[in-house]
Amino acid sequence: MSTTVTQEPLLRLRGFRNLFLAGAVSQLGSQISYVALPLLAVTALGAGAGEVGLLAALGTLTVLLLGLPAGAWVDRVRRRPVMIATDLLRAGALLSVPVAWWGGWLSMGHLYLVAVLVGAGTLLFDVASYSIVPALVGRDRLTAANTLLVGTGAGMDVAGRSTAGVLVQVAGAPVAILLDALSYLWSAAWLRAVPDPRTTAREPDPMGRQIAEGVRFLFGNPILVTALLQGTLVNLAFPLCSVLLPVVLVQQLGHPEWVLGAYLAAGGLGVLAGSSSAHAIGRRLGTGRAAWLTSLVTTPAAFVVPLLSMGGPWVWASAVAWLVLTFRTGLNNVLLVSLRQRVTPDAMLGRMTATMRLLLTGALGAGGLLAAAVGELWGTGPALALGAAVMALSWLPYVRSPLRHQP
């Protein structure tokens, strides 16, 4: 006679539930600022393509300075205090923006500093958050947990981005940014009840040695290397296709702010659809096969995105193509993150995550700088076309990789 073990629903696990609730609201606020910050730069400070591109790049380039030490440090300390402290840091940085605007001393330099502080806080928070999930739910439930986390985050993307354009138009960008700051305070409050197990009781090695161990581990694992190469190409392409959208849609084509919000919301819907279906698709096809086939099949959509600059109905055709590409992103965010967590020992999770983030987020920053440079020198159209070309090549790392055969 066989017995069936019924697992407790994930949201009944108090620690995971609190992490989920903390992330859901702060993600909503983050997506509002994702739209509001560049719009504030464009509408209040007259920022051009170069300044908007630099603003997008600074937050991600911060990872190049802090990425490797952040992973080694997170592997040494309790993770909950790190997440709470970085929520408070980001809340304070964002609160300074509406204060400066209402006081009349807001500048691009101020926005650049806020981007750096928010980027640093997000790096440390994400490294700690990804590292604590296996301890909260167990390794056998990582795909289900990440489906819930990423899917809810994508839903907040849709709500935040679609609301942001209207909110900025009605209440102003400073008010929208203020709401994001409050969302980080909400997150910090919920995180207080998240369990915080230690990963090791032994005296840690010197930080330099720990960093080197993390780098060797990542580059010695062909599955992690494939995920890194594929993600680097995608992250280089996405800023080329997206950071100049306020310039193209609002300045050049003359659309109201809500059109920008609707376009970005289409991307959020794609991530939501991809992440929500990732668990089922991965179980049917296998994690690796699902990831590479989806990347291959969605590649043609990349070539439709640059048609945005032609205006008219091409704006909405481009938005649909953007939704298709972000579907792939949502699916990979669940499947590949879960796979990375499964193949990495607990004591190495922080360093693996931080090293991966260093390179992936560095690619985002490089893409933002490249978008700024190409946009200034040759215009927004060539920047969008370059992004499409890089996106179209992003499935190639799977071709001869063992990741394709991972269950």
Q: Specify the DSSP element, H or E, that contains 280.
A: helix 257-285
Tally the residues of the chain: 407
Query: What is the average per-residue pLDDT within 98-112?
Result: 89
Q: Specify the DSSP element, H or E, that contains 52.
A: helix 49-74
**Rounded distance, CA 167 to CA 154, Å?**
19
**Rounded distance, CA 310 to CA 293, Å?**
31
pLDDT tier at 201 (50, 70, 90 boundaries)?
Answer: very low
pLDDT tier at 165 (50, 70, 90 boundaries)?
Answer: low
- The two tokens of residue 252 are 């050049």
State pLDDT tens for residues 331-347: 888 888 888 878 887 77
pLDDT tier at 95 (50, 70, 90 boundaries)?
Answer: very high
Of the candidates 266, 243, 262, 246, the residue with the CA atom closest to the CA atom of residue 254: 246
Q: What is the pTM of this model?
A: 0.67
**Tokens 């790190």 label which residue?**
82
**Rounded distance, CA 389 to CA 381, Å?**
13
- In terms of average pLDDT, the best of 157-171, 201-215, 218-232 is 218-232
Of the candidates 50, 75, 99, 37, the residue with the CA atom closest to the CA atom of residue 349: 75
Q: Half-sphere exposure of residue 178, counting CA atoms within 13 Å on the CB side?
A: 12
